[in-house]
Structure 1
C-alpha cells in the first residue's frame, strides 16, 4: 500500500506535464490518433477532441494544465476560426445578405435575452448582485455563440452557401451585443462606467473600421502585387494582420475575435479559394491551432458537476433549455421567413448552437465580480460541453445531406463539369504562374480533374538546352500547384510547330479548355494576336482563353465581362459563360456583364444561380458601337476584362470582332485581358458542313441577279464604285437613283470593314429597301478604301430596312462574312466576268 501511495504521490507531483517537448508530443499524439479513432465510429472528429480535453484536463487526469502555452495556442485557435471565416466567406454575398444576417442575429439575441431574463427571475442570485443586472447578464450568457463547427462546413464545401453566410454574420452580431452587455454591466456593477470608457469604446470602433476598411486592403494589395514571389512572407503578412486587428480590438475594449473576423473580411479578395495561400492558411489552422482550441474547450469541463445536488440541476436544465431552444427557434423561424430548405435550417442551428469562448468569458467575469454564483458557472460549463457535442453532430449530418442534394441538382450552383480538362501551354517563366492561377480559378473543384501544363521545345540544335529550361519551369509549376492541393499532369513535347503541337496535345488528352498566354504584341496588321495564336485558333475547336495578365490574379479589384451580339448562337456559348461564372465565383470579385439585348435573356439565365452568392451585375448594351465608351468609364488598371469572341466562320462571327483585342490593347494597355473563343463543332476550317442551309440565307440567295452584282469595276475610286453598285440596284425602285445613291454612299463609306484580305463589307439601314439586300461588286485590279491596307477586289454592301431590328441586321452581316470566308482561298468572285460564269464556278466549288 505504501508503494502504491508513494507512486501516486510521485505521479501527482509531476502532473500536469510541464516539459515543452513532452507537452507537444502528447498534443501531437492526440491530434493524430483521436480524429482517426472517432471517424471509425462515424463521430465528428471535433467531438472526440473535446472529450479528450475533458479526460486529460485539470478536472480529469490532469495530464495537461491550462498553462500560458496552452492558453496561447487556444486563444490563437479561436481567433483563427474567426479569421478563416472572414477569409472564406463570400464577401459579396455577405454584403448583399447583410439584412438577413442582422435579422437572424437579432432574432437569436432577442429570444435568448428574453429567455435568460426569465431564468433570472426563477433562480436565486447572489445577495450582493442587483436582480436586474443579474437577469440582463444571464440573457447575454444565453445569446452568445461560437463558430465551432465552421471547419466542418468548410470541408463540406458549403462555406459560401447563403445559410452559412448569414449564420456567420449573426454570430458576429450576437457576440458583439453579448460582449457589449458584459462590458457595460461589469462597469456599472463596479461603478466604473465613466465617460472615458465610452470615449475609448467609440474611438476603438472608429480606429478598427478605418484599419479594416481602408488601410489593410490597400496595404495587402500593394504587398501581394510587389512581394508575391515570397511564399513565406505572403502567409506571415496574413498572420500579422490577424494579430494586428485583434490587438486593436482588445485595446479598444472589444473582444479580439471581432478584430480577427474583420481582418479576414479585409483580406478576403486577396486570398482566393483555389490558391496556395488559402491552402496554407487552412492547413496551419486545421492542423494545429483549431484542434488545440477544441481540446482546451474540453479541459474547462469539470465532470464532478454531474454529481451536484437537485437544485443545481434545475438551474442547469433551465439554462440548457433556453440556450438550445432559443437557437433552434431562431434558426427555424429564420429558415421559414427566408424560404430556406429544411436542411439549411438545421445547418444554421448546428452552426449557432455552440458555445465556448464568449460564454465562458461571460460566466467567469460574472462570477468574479459577484453577479453569478457557482451554480450558474457550473451550468455554463455544462452548456459548453453539451452544445459542443450537439453542434458538430447536427452540422455533420445535415450539412452533408444538404451538400449531396446540391451536387445532384443540375441547375444548382454546384453543378459539376465532370469532363473538364484544362490544357495550359507554358513558355515564359514570368507568365506561367499567372496562367496557372487562371486555370486554378476556372477549374471545377467538384470534378477533381487535374490540370495539364505543357511546354514545347523547338526541335533543332539547341533542343537539349530547351528541354532543361522547360523541366526547370515545369518543376516550379508543379510546386506551385502542390501548394494549392490541385493535381497536375505536366507534359514536355519536342516539335517544330508550336500551334500544331498544342492542338495535337489537346486532342490526345481530350482537353475541353486551352489557356494560353499573350504578350499583347501585334506585329502584323492582318493578325488577331500573332502567327502562332491565330493558327492555334484555326486548328482547334475547344474553348480557348487567350490571356494577357499584367499582375497577380489575387490583386484584381473587379471583373468586366463583354459579350458581343449574337454570341449565344455559338455551340459553346453555355460552356464559356459557365467557365466565366466559375472564375467570378471562385475569385469572389464583383463582376459586371455587358451583353446585347439579343443575348441578355440567355446570359441572365446562365448567370442567375450565381446572383445570390456573388455580386454579378448584368447590363444591357443597346448600341454596341458604344461598348468601349461604356466600359472605359468603369475599367481600371487593376481590373480583369473577359472579352467573349468567336472564330472566323462561326455562326456569330462578325468582321469587327477580330479588331477588338487590338483596340483594347491600344486604349487599356495596363489592364489584364482574357479573350475567350467558345468551343464549336466544325468540319474543315473555312468551309461549311454539307447540308448547312444557313450558308445561303435569303439575302445571300437573292444576290444572284444582274441588278445586285456589278462586275469589272476597274480604276475607280471607292466613292464611284459604291455609287455605281447602288445605282444599279436602285434603278426602277426610286425616282432619283443617282441622288439617293450619293446620299447612301456617304453613309456607307465610314462603315467599311475588311472581312479577309481583298474583301470588304459596308452596311447601313435605309428607307430604300423593304427587306435585307446584299449587293456585290468585283474588280481585278482592286479598289482602295480609306483605312483598309489592301485594295478590295470583292465589295459587299448590306442595305437593311430602317425598321429592321439590330439582331436581324447583325445576323445578315454574319452570313455575308461567312459566305466570304468560304471563298477565302479562291479568286472566283473577282475573276468572274458575268453572272452565268459566277454561278457555274460556285456550283463547281
Structure 2
C-alpha cells in the first residue's frame, strides 16, 4: 500500500483580502517604490507617500483601513519617531553666530503665523483657541531645499545661514505651544494660571530628562565599548522612558519625544549610532505615518461641497503671506538685499515635519475638523513642492563671489596647508587580494612626504578564543605583514609593520592610528554582506566615524604606479576642498601625473559669476604652494553628477571628498553627490575624509551616511 502524502490546505476561513498582512505587504511595497519614483521627478517623496495613502484608503481602492491595529501601531511609532528625529536634528551650537538675526527671524515668523491663524479663524467663524492652534501649525518649516543650497555653495551666505538656524527656534516654539493646546480640550478656556502650571511641569520634566539622560547616556556609552547594537537599543529605551515619564506628568508625548531627541543629540553627537537611529525611522516608521495620513483623507466626504477647496486656498495664501512678511521684516531689520529676502521666504515655505505631527494629533484630539485636517495636509504637499521649486530659481543668484566669501573660506581652511612634522601612513591589511595596490599607493604618498608606512593587521581575539586559535590568527597576521613589507616599492620606504590583537577590526584600526599619531589611513573598499553590516556598519564605516586623522578609502582597478591623470570633482566651494586636492597632488608628484580640479556650475549661473568662482578656486588652491599647480576646469551643466561622470571617462583616478549626507529632519534621506558618482565610476576611486582639525564644518547639521557610500 502506497504511503499517503500529507495535503497542505488553506484554512477554511482564509480570505486573502481580509488578512491584515496583505495591506501591510502592500504598504511596504509602496514605501519602497513610491519615494524613488517621485524623487526622480524632483518631487519630494513624502508627496507620493501621502498620495499613496489616499489611493489605498477609503477614497481609492479601499485596501488599507485606519482600524488595522498593526498599521496604527507602526503609524503611532512613526509619529513618535518623527518628533524624536526633529529634536535629534537640532544643534544649539549653530546659534553661536548670527544669533540675533536667527532669533529675530524666528520671532517674526512666530508672531505673524499666530496672527494669521486668528485672521483665518475670523473669516471661518472659529473660536480663538482653534484659530491659535492652526496658527501654531504655520510656525515651523522644514529644510527640504538644503541639498540644493549645498550644491549651489550658498549656505555660508548670511541670510541663508539665518534661515537655517531660525528653524531650530521655530520648531521648538511650535512644539511647546502645540503641547499646551494638546494638553487640554478644545472647549476649555485658557488662563494664566493654567499656562504657568503647565510650563512649570514642563520645566521640571525637561530638567529631569536633560540631566538624567545626559548622565546615563555618557556612562552607558563609556562602559558599553564599541557595540553599536547596544547603543542603538539604549537610545530607543531612553525615548520610551521619556514618553512614559511625560504621560505621568500630563505632558503631551510629542514633547517627550522632541526633548528626548534634543538630549540624545548632546550624547551621541555625530556618530554611527545617530546614523542608525535615523536610518530605522526614515525607512520604515515615518513613511508608514505619512501613508496613514493619506488613508485618513476621505475625498468623497470632504469634496461634497467647495468648503475644503476654499479652505485649502485660504490657508495656502495665508501661509505664503505670513512667511513673506516675516522675511520682509528680517530684510528691513538686518539689511538683506531683495534676492536674499526672497530666498529666505522660499526656504521657510515647506511645512512638513512638525506641521504634520501637530495636524494629526490635533485631528485626533478634536481640535481640527476633517475639512481642516485635509486642508492642512494639502497645504503640506503644496508648500513642500513649491518651496523647493522657488529656492531652485532664487538661490542661483546668491552664488558666492571672491569678495563675499573667499576670505571666509581661506581662514577656515588655513590650517590645512600646515605640513605636520612627521607624516605617518597606516595601511590596514586584511585582504590579501587588495593589499599590494594599497601598499603601492601608500609608498607613493610616503615618497612625496618622506614619511614612513605602518602596515597594520588586526588579529581577532574573541573572549572564548583558546590559545591555539589565537596563535594561528597571529601567525596568519604575521605572514600578511611580511608580504606587505616586501610590497612597499622594494623596501625603499621606511616600513614598520604593526600587529595588534583586538576584538574589533574598526576600533582596533582607529586606536592604532591614534597611538601611532597617524596622519593618514589608506584602506581598501569595504563591501557590505549581511543584514547586520547594513544596519550597524562595516570596518570602513567604523574607521570613518572614529578616526581623527585623514582616511582614504580606495577602490583601485589597476596599480597606482600606472595612474597618469587624476580628477578631483568639487560640488561646491564649501566642501573640504584642499585636502582632496592635496592628496591628489601628492600622488601626482610621485607619479609625474596631472591633476585636474573640476567644478560644475549650474547652467543658469551667469558667465561673470562662473569666472568669479574660478578665481576663488584658484586662490584657494594656491594656498597649498604646490610646485606643479593643478589644472582648474569649470563646466556649466544641468546635471552635476552626469557632467562629472562624463569628464571622468578620460581619467585613471577620481578623488572624491567625503561629504556627509543630509537627512530631512524626521523625513527621508537626501543622497549626496559622492554617492551618486561612486556608484557609476569605472576607473579607480578614492573617497577622502579630511582630518578633523582641517574639515570645514557646515552651518547646518548633517548626518553621515557611510552606509550608502562604501
1:272–1:554 CA contact under 8 A, matched in 2 = no
Distance 1:59 1:205 in 2: 43
Distance 1:320 1:111 in 2: 15
User: Of residues 257, 261, 264 in structure 1, which corresponds to 2:258?
Assistant: 261
In structure 2, the CA distance between the partners of 1:223 and 1:303, relative to structure 1 (3 Å rule), is same
Residues 253-652 of structure 1 aligned to structure 2 (within 5 Å)? 253-273=250-270, 275-304=271-300, 307-310=303-306, 313-331=309-327, 333-334=329-330, 337=333, 339=336, 341=340, 345-346=344-345, 348-352=347-351, 355-366=355-366, 377-395=370-388, 398=391, 405=399, 412=409, 423-425=425-427, 454-455=455-456, 466=474, 468-469=476-477, 493-495=484-486, 517=512
Residues 823-842 of structure 1 aligned to structure 2 (within 5 Å)? none
How far the C-alpha of 1:268 sits from its partner, in A, is 1.9
User: Of residues 189, 204, 207 in structure 2, which corresponds to 1:206?
Assistant: 204
Compare CA radii of gyration and give the structure with the larger one. Answer: 1
- Aligned length, in residue pairs: 471
Distance 1:97 1:17 in 2: 57
Distance 1:471 1:158 in 2: 51
Deviations 1:480-525 (A, max 9, x none): xxxxxxxxxxx9713599997875799xxxxxxx9984897xxxxx
Unaligned ranges ≥5, structure 2: 1-12, 431-452, 460-469, 498-508, 523-542, 548-620, 626-656, 662-692, 702-710
Deviations 1:150-202 (A, max 9, x none): 99789989999653332132122123224324546x37x34797978964652
Distance 1:492 1:220 in 2: 44
In structure 2, the CA distance between the partners of 1:344 and 1:312, relative to structure 1 (3 Å rule), is closer
How far the C-alpha of 1:52 sits from its partner, in A, is 0.8
Which residue in 2 is equivalent to 1:117?
118
Distance 2:189 2:341 in 1: 47
Which residue in 2 is equivalent to 1:235?
232
1:172–1:258 CA contact under 8 A, matched in 2 = no
How far the C-alpha of 1:395 sits from its partner, in A, is 3.5
Which residue in 2 is equivalent to 1:107?
108
1:59 alignment partner, SS class: coil
In structure 2, the CA distance between the partners of 1:221 and 1:154, relative to structure 1 (3 Å rule), is farther
1:228–1:234 CA contact under 8 A, matched in 2 = no
Which residue in 2 is equivalent to 1:41?
41
In structure 2, the CA distance between the partners of 1:346 and 1:87, relative to structure 1 (3 Å rule), is same
1:159–1:165 CA contact under 8 A, matched in 2 = no
2:59 alignment partner, SS class: coil
How far the C-alpha of 1:30 sits from its partner, in A, is 0.6
What is the CA RMSD across the aligned residues, in angstroms? 5.6
Distance 2:107 2:279 in 1: 34
2:49–2:291 CA contact under 8 A, matched in 1 = yes
Higher relative contact order (CA 8 A, sep 6+): 2
Which residue in 2 is equivalent to 1:690?
none
2:24–2:71 CA contact under 8 A, matched in 1 = no
Distance 2:486 2:64 in 1: 64
1:356 alignment partner, SS class: helix
Which residue in 2 is equivalent to 1:247?
244
How far the C-alpha of 1:62 sits from its partner, in A, is 1.9
How far the C-alpha of 1:56 sits from its partner, in A, is 0.8
2:327–2:341 CA contact under 8 A, matched in 1 = no
1:332–1:345 CA contact under 8 A, matched in 2 = no
In structure 2, the CA distance between the partners of 1:45 and 1:357, relative to structure 1 (3 Å rule), is same
Which residue in 2 is equivalent to 1:484?
none
How far the C-alpha of 1:32 sits from its partner, in A, is 1.6
Distance 1:325 1:15 in 2: 52
Distance 2:93 2:363 in 1: 36
Structure 1 range deviating more: 340-349 or 400-409: 400-409
Deviations 1:320-339 (A, max 9, x none): 32233223432454466454
Q: TM-score, normalised by structure 1?
A: 0.46
2:485 alignment partner, SS class: strand
1:53–1:299 CA contact under 8 A, matched in 2 = yes
Which residue in 1 is equivalent to 2:175?
175
Distance 2:63 2:80 in 1: 25
Distance 1:400 1:14 in 2: 55
Deviations 1:227-258 (A, max 9, x none): 02322111111112222223333443333233
1:424 alignment partner, SS class: strand
How far the C-alpha of 1:48 sits from its partner, in A, is 1.2
2:78–2:289 CA contact under 8 A, matched in 1 = yes
1:271–1:278 CA contact under 8 A, matched in 2 = yes
Q: TM-score, normalised by structure 2?
A: 0.53
Unaligned ranges ≥5, structure 1: 1-12, 126-130, 429-451, 475-490, 507-513, 521-532, 546-551, 557-571, 577-581, 587-605, 615-845
How far the C-alpha of 1:289 sits from its partner, in A, is 1.7
In structure 2, the CA distance between the partners of 1:183 and 1:399, relative to structure 1 (3 Å rule), is farther
Distance 2:104 2:278 in 1: 30
Deviations 1:98-154 (A, max 9, x none): 6555433332232122222223333345xxxxx54455445445x354749499789
Distance 1:48 1:74 in 2: 17
